[in-house]
Amino acid sequence: MEKPSNTLLAALPRACYEKLQPALTPVDLGFGDILYESGKVMRDVYFPVNCLVSLLTLVEGHLALEVGMVGREGMVGVALALGFKESPMRALVQGGGPALRMGAARFTREFEHSPPLRRAVNRYIHTLMGQISQTAGCNRFHNVESRLARWLLMTRDRMGSPQFRMTQDFLATMLGVRRVGITESASALQRRNLIEYHRGSIHILDQRGLEAAACSCYTPTPDAARAARMGKAAPKEKLAADPVHLDIQQAELATLYDVAA
């Protein structure tokens, strides 16, 4: 059986994943799809494969600010694991692509009866909480250019590709700044040959240079960190072309997500 390309699922023991597999439905999420609205019941959970979901907090009922993002390293709908049926945030697809969907009732049942799944999800919730709290501090204390560099790196890690499409208006909404701030910051990064940006298409040219430009809040995902330790830059390109490929070993995944291999 081929390993799942979602990192959280790939960390599970084979028997545990095989039990979940019949309940996992492949879906293609489109850019701009709203998976949950804040305060509304979550009917499904999602395990991104090669897509990206933004977690947005709403201010005064309509102004949205990104506080977290989820890609192949995790799942969307973690509030169900904490015993809540309603989503605390809006979940918006910012990078379209494949994902695996499971009904909320089935997920809750499996979560309650599967210690490996429970440990993996709880470990991920801890990571996500760290990301959300780090983003709050980042939005308050760091300038737009360093925040944009961090955001681009986080998107790259979770999309599995250094190239993706994103408009300046959308970036401004995600970072909670004026569009002119994104224009100036993207232009500065481009002048330093760190990125190439043209008509909504972003290409990261120099990852290490972009990491140096980013604030200290940037933390790579487990598989991105492993690739960096091994001196590999190419696997990300391969991930984009081959969404079922996952360049990380089962034993290391089990360690990262605190489950028995």
Q: Which residue has the higher pLDDT, 135 or 15?
A: 15
pLDDT beyond 80 at 198: yes
Give the SS3 label for residue 140. Answer: helix
In this prediction, residue 59 has a pLDDT band, given cuts at 50, 70 and 90, of confident
Summarised one tens digit per residue, pLDDT across range 163-183 is 888 888 888 887 888 899 999
What pLDDT is attached to residue 221?
74
Give the SS3 label for residue 35. Answer: strand
pLDDT beyond 80 at 146: yes
Strands 25-29 and 63-70, bridge-based pairing: unpaired
What pLDDT is attached to residue 225?
57
65 forms beta bridges with 57
Give the residue extent of every domain in the chain: 1-141+244-254, 142-219
Give, in words, the CATH class of 142-219.
mainly alpha
What pLDDT is attached to residue 238?
37
Q: Which CATH number fits domain 1-141+244-254: 3.40.50.150, 3.30.420.10, 3.40.50.2000, 2.60.120.10?
A: 2.60.120.10
What pLDDT is attached to residue 231?
56
Q: Which residues contact 66 (CB under 8 A, 6 or more apart)?
A: 54, 55, 56, 135, 173, 174, 175, 176
Output Rg (C-alpha) for the chain, integer angstroms. 18
Mean pLDDT of 27-56: 95
Tokens of 67: 């506080």
d(CA 167, CA 197): 10
